Homo-oligomer: A and B are copies of this chain.
Amino acid sequence: MKNKGLLVVISGPSGAGKGTVYQKVLQLNPKILSSVSVTTRAPRAGEKEGVHYYFKSLAEYQQMIADGAFLETASVYSNYYGTPKSAVLDRIDKGCDVLFEIDIHGARQIKSQYKDSVLIFLMTPDFKTLKKRLSERGTETESSLKNRLGSAKNELAQYGEFDYYVTNDIAEQAAKDIITIINAEKLRVKFNKPTIKNLLEQDF
């Protein structure tokens, strides 16, 4: 029997820098696997089946929902996106760590499907910085900016559902903090039960 891998979720409000930090974590530790989503949208140029996405028809996707085959699923602009449960749990059973970058709604779905998930809340040092980062995208109106900041506060108020809180001041440091969390989680007693049980079967 082997120690399992970890399911680690980076979540947090829009503008916290989830995508950047996620990429940096994968760079810093190439052994961590990224998850591959299923989608109903058409492949774009260069996108490969099983690498970027698993492409499915709407009917196939709906059947997967009915079968409870998703760790999480969401619809964005009339397309569906979701994470297939079996592919992720197979990797974890083999001892691989799988990393997700997902909004709070998705993080909550994953936790409800897999209670040993490690949920990390990523946040800017303050709301001023969050506002600045969102504004710099240049895609927000004054009113959509206000909405996003309001949502961010509501999301932060749900911190109790998360295991860790990482401040994204400098993305490189936030990524290192997440690597520290992953390394420490692998030292938790609950992830070392196979090692301990093997030891208890030894003679001396």
A interface residues, Cβ below 8 angstroms from B: 121, 123, 126-128, 130-131, 149, 153, 156-157, 159-160, 162-167, 177, 180-181, 183-185, 187-189, 192-193, 195-196, 199-200, 202-204
Contacts and interface: CB of A to CB of B under 8 A. Distances in A.
Contact of A123 (B126, B188, B199): B199
Contacts of A184: 164, 180-181, 183-185
A91 B28 CA distance: 35
Contacts of A123: 199
A167 to B, nearest CB: 8
How many copies of this kind of chain does the complex include?
Answer: 2
Nearest to A191: B165
Contacts of A192: 165
Contacts of A166: 187
Given A128-B204, A180-B180, A184-B184, 4 more contacts: A156-B199, A159-B189, A162-B189, A165-B195
A129 to B, nearest CB: 10
B165 A188 contact: yes
Contacts of A177: 183, 187
Contact of A189 (B153, B160, B195): B160
